[in-house]
Structure 1
Amino acid sequence: MSGASLIEVDQLKDLLDTKTPILLFDCRFDLVDSEAGYQSYLEGHIPGAVYIHSDKDLATSKNGKNGRHPLPSLSAWEKTYANLGITPHQHVVAYDNQGGMYAARLWWMLQATGHQHVSILNGGFSAWKNFGFPVTDSETFRQPVAETKLQPYKNLVLVDAVVNNLKNKNFTILDARANDRFHGENEVLDPVGGHIPGAINRCFKDNLDGDGKFKSIEALRQEFDALLGGLPSSEIVHQCGSGITACHNLFSMELANHSGSSVYAGSWSEWCADPTRPIEK
């Protein structure tokens, strides 16, 4: 997987002012109210941004066993990719208003299927507004393009591999949920609390400063060095509640030059849907 890329708001403003070709996506979303992000977009967004919906564009239908944000099949993602007007050599910039947690899902899905030039806006929509840059409430649409044959998802781990890993210990699960949910406390999104046996925990919010921007590369590197204790990045598999914030930890590890980790996209919501799978608290 290619390395992570951050773009600052003044850099994005320069690209827009000089009409540099970029594809800008607004990824704001709310796990409790799935239409709240779109409503926020309609109230105001960065000019030229197209809204992308975490449930409808970055996930497929749920069947009760495949988690809350099941990863689309490659063919379904190819259709969405084309419908959003994306072609392989374009620079995609993604933002949200939640520290990059939803933008990181788009970043990972693009990178994992071969789209290399993807950036996340550091600080998101709040940082853009704080600079006093213009916003619009006019919805932007992009014309669909011909479908691109994307490469199969890289750095993707499926549930059977996680089950087998309980015995084989080929990798370590890094859970991006808040620490209380990791320990089976205050679970409000999934019917069962706890974590996958053997998992370690780093809440994705620990990747951010108080202003909602990513910590420095040096700080992230030191923190992941301490957390991983010498474990190679290739033996880390990211997990969260539904496969969203797992991508945030992976992105942050890539920023810190800990490259080559993977995502268990089904995550806790898929794992706990089968009562035969073991749970730790």
Structure 2
Amino acid sequence: MTRPESPLKDAVWLLAHLQDPQLRVLDCRYALTDPLVGRIAYLEGHVPGAVYADLETDLSGPVRPDGGGGRHPLPDPQVLANWLGSVGIGNDSVVIAYDDPSGGQGFYATRAWWLLRWLGHRQVYVLDGGWPAFLRAGGEPSTAEPTFAPTTFTPEVQPDMVATAADVAQRGANTLLIDARAPARYRGDVEPLDRKAGHIPGALNREWTGALTEDGRWRDAAAQAARLNVGDAATITYCGSGVSATPNLLARELAGVPLGPHNRLYAGSWSDWISDDTRPVATGEAP
């Protein structure tokens, strides 16, 4: 398996390339507890030229009445492609996504990164350390909202990056299931967001926050491989709604396993799994 290009760029690189005509920056700051927090933060100051990408309206599809697809369903590929084109992102753009990991919210940029990769876009990266790293590197915030000429983004959807509930239920012994949520949610001690507590039977618990250091930077390849502790096995990763699982997907890519059949996202995640009451639920510690 060929080691993929790093999915990360640092703030020094970003500052050196801010004037590149092909560069597009996505500000993905958000908070599940207050949907306006990210937009307000963007208006108060953002990376020059950055476009705001809202988790609910831009990076997710509409929620189904029956709960199928989870709390943050994947957007329709063409709808997402149309939005990308409307903000000046085409197939030749170099895209950098960032959020603010200092508030424990370091998974929105990886959601954007994963979505663009799902649409077949290779030149998309996550800003290592996010917004705080940009400021520490001497970046000057802007309050101007950019306008880019609309362009066309043609999606080439990568279906082997996605797992369904059926894939999870029917996975073989050589495919490991990773739950990226906090241990208390995995065990079923608490459940602040969904109507059932617990985890999918057989899942390993690898909380997504372990992918980052205390200052919000990504741990190196060896550290990611050690904390995930799954070797080269094929994995399906899930969380509550397919958002906070994405750091573990990026971590596996850092460790040398690219997105694809050996590193898939269960997009609907726990909130999709429990939409069908016939699906089994487990509680307690991992076996």
What TM-score, normalized to structure 1?
0.91
2:237 counterpart of 1:238: yes
Which residue number in structure 2 is paired with residue 145 of structure 1? 151
Alignment-mate amino acid for residue 162 of structure 2? L
Q: Does 1:85 align with 2:88?
A: yes
1:152 is displaced (CA, Å) by 4.2
Deviation at 1:147, TM superposition (A): 4.4
Gaps (5+ residues) in structure 1?
A: none
Cα RMSD after superposing both structures: 1.9
Equivalent residue pairs, number: 273
Amino acid at match of 1:31: L
Determine the C-alpha separation between the residues in 2 that align with 1:195 and 1:164: 16
Cα contact 1:104–1:248 (8 A) shared by 2: yes
Q: CA deviation at 1:239?
A: 0.4
5 Å-filtered alignment, 1:3-152, equals 3-16=5-18, 18-19=19-20, 21-63=22-64, 64-98=67-101, 100-152=106-158
Query: Structure 1 pair 189/141, CA: closer, same or farther in 2 (3 Å)?
Result: farther
- Bigger Cα displacement from structure 2, 191-200 vs 126-135: 126-135
For the residues of structure 1 that align with 2:15 and 2:162, how far apart are their CA atoms? Answer: 34
Change (3 A) 1:154 1:90: farther
1:143-177 deviations in Å (ceiling 9; x for gaps): 32134142344311112222333xx5452211111
CA-to-partner distance for each residue in 1:185-241, whole Å, 9 max, x for gaps? 2211112110001000111100111111111222223333xx21x4x34x2001011
- How far did 1:78 drift? 2.4
- In structure 2, give the amino acid aligned to 1:255: L
Contact 1:74/1:152 (<8 A) preserved: no
Aligned twin of 2:247: 248
Q: Tell me how far apart the structure 1 counterparts of residues 226 and 122 of structure 2 sit (CA, whole Å).
A: 26
Structure 1 residue matching 2:25: 3-state secondary structure: strand
Change (3 A) 1:91 1:196: same
Hey, what's the Cα distance between the residues in 2 that align with 1:124 and 1:56? 21
Does residue 161 of structure 1 match 2:167?
A: yes
Of all paired residues, the percent bearing the same amino acid is 36
After the TM superposition, which of the residue ranges 147-156 and 208-217 deviates more from structure 2?
147-156
The 1:19–1:244 alpha-carbon spacing in structure 2 relative to 1, beyond 3 Å, is same
How far 1:247 sits from its partner (Å)?
1.2
**Deviation of the 1:81 alpha carbon:** 2.6
Classify the secondary structure of the residue corresponding to 1:24: strand
The runs of 4+ residues in structure 1 deviating greater than 6 Å are none
In 2, Cα distance between equivalents of 1:163 and 1:264: 11
Q: 1:236 to 1:141 in 2, by over 3 A?
A: same
Given candidates 194, 201, 205, the residue that maps to 1:197 is: 201
Say whether the 8 Å CA contact 2:62–2:73 is kept in structure 1: yes
Alpha-carbon distance in structure 1 between the residues aligned to 2:190 and 2:31:
18
Equivalent-residue separation in structure 2 for 1:2 and 1:142 (angstroms): 30
Aligned-partner Cα distance in 1 for 2:60–2:12: 31
Note the alpha carbon deviations across 1:46-93, whole angstroms, 9 max, x for none. Answer: 111000011111111101332110001222222223223221121100
- The match for 1:262 is 264
CA distance, structure 2, for counterparts of residue 19 and residue 73 of structure 1 = 30
The one-letter code of the counterpart of 1:50 is V
Alpha carbons 1:157, 1:237 under 8 Å: kept: yes
How far apart are 1:42 and its partner, in Å?
0.6
